[in-house]
């Protein structure tokens, strides 16, 4: 159900858009929160139109169909946000790897953690540049999600750095 909600949100903020537009918007904005490719988006838009949540506003060149959100769609989005109990379960490979770390030799675990720190440092820099580059007004929509995304990446980065330090100081370092 959440793909539908994400699409309703994008249509609310960006105005009438085609499936193609929405696929690009997905990549460029909501991507760190939710992922979907065009093969999922096109059929979903058709179903949403059948359910009356969006309408085909106009048909352009190359079979382009521009969808607009309906009142029923806006209501659905609002209901989901306000009334639906959020699902807080999350599945992350980072956490699974954290769990499995003690099955490795300390030196191997250290190497993995250090590599992760580097990757997350790079990600952090990219997101922080994005934060700085857009004027606050331009970010607007997506601002809260970007803030959360940056904080979450920093959290994993710091955890990896601290855990590496802890393993190192407890005998995982270089052998004499």
Partner DNA sequence: CTAAACATGTAAACGGTTACATGATTCG
Partner DNA sequence: CGAATCATGTAACCGTTTACATGTTTAG
Q: How far is CA 146 from the centre of its chain?
A: 9
In sequence order, what are the residues at sequence separation of 6 or more whose Cβ sits closer than 8 angstroms to the Cβ of residue 5? 76, 77, 80
Q: Residues 61, 63, 102, 176: which binds a copy of itself (CB under 8 A)?
A: 102
Could you give the strand order of the β-sheet that contains 17-18, starting from the edge strand earlier in sequence?
Answer: 17-18, 65-69, 54-59
> Among residue numbers 4 through 63, which ones bind DNA (CB under 7 A)?
18-21, 23, 35-40, 42-43, 45-46, 60-63
What minimum distance in Å lies between the beta carbon of 34 and DNA? 7
Stretch that binds a copy of itself, among 37-45, 51-59, 126-134, 157-165 (CB under 8 A): 157-165
161 makes contact with a copy of itself (CB under 8 A) = no
Closest separation between CB of residue 10 and a copy of itself, Å? 9
Residue 135, binding choice from DNA, a copy of itself, none, Cβ under 5 to 8 Å by partner class = none
Enter the tokens of residue 73.
């769609």
Category of 99 on φ-ψ map: left (φ > 0), alpha (ψ -120 to 50) or beta? alpha
Could you say which of a copy of itself, DNA, none residue 9 binds, taking C-beta under 5 to 8 angstroms by partner kind? a copy of itself
Select 65 or 134, whichever has its Cβ closest to DNA.
65
Give least dist CB 175 to a copy of itself, A.
19
Q: Which of residues 50-69 bind a copy of itself (CB under 8 A)?
A: none
CA distance 166 to 35: 34
Q: What DSSP letter does each residue of 114-153 carry, written as one string?
A: HHHHHHHHHHHHHHHHHHHHS-HHHH-TTHHHHHHHHHHH
């Amino acid at each position: 159900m959440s793909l539908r909600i994400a699409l309703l949100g994008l249509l609310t903020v960006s105005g009438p858009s085609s499936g193609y537009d929405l696929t690009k918007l997905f990549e460029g904005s909501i991507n760190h929160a939710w992922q979907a490719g065009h093969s999922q988006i096109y059929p979903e838009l058709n179903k949403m139109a059948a359910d009356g949540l969006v309408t085909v506003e106009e048909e352009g060149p190359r079979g382009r169909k521009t969808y607009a959100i309906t009142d029923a769609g806006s209501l659905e989005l609002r209901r989901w946000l306000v009334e639906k109990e959020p699902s807080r379960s999350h599945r992350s490979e980072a956490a699974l790897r954290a769990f499995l770390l003690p099955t490795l030799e300390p030196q191997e675990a250290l190497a993995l953690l250090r590599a992760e720190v580097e990757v997350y440092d790079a990600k952090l820099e990219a997101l922080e540049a994005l934060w700085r580059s857009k004027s606050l007004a331009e970010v607007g929509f997506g601002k809260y999600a970007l803030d959360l995304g940056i904080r979450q990446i920093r959290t994993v980065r710091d955890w990896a750095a601290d855990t590496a330090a802890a393993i190192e100081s407890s005998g995982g370092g270089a052998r004499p």
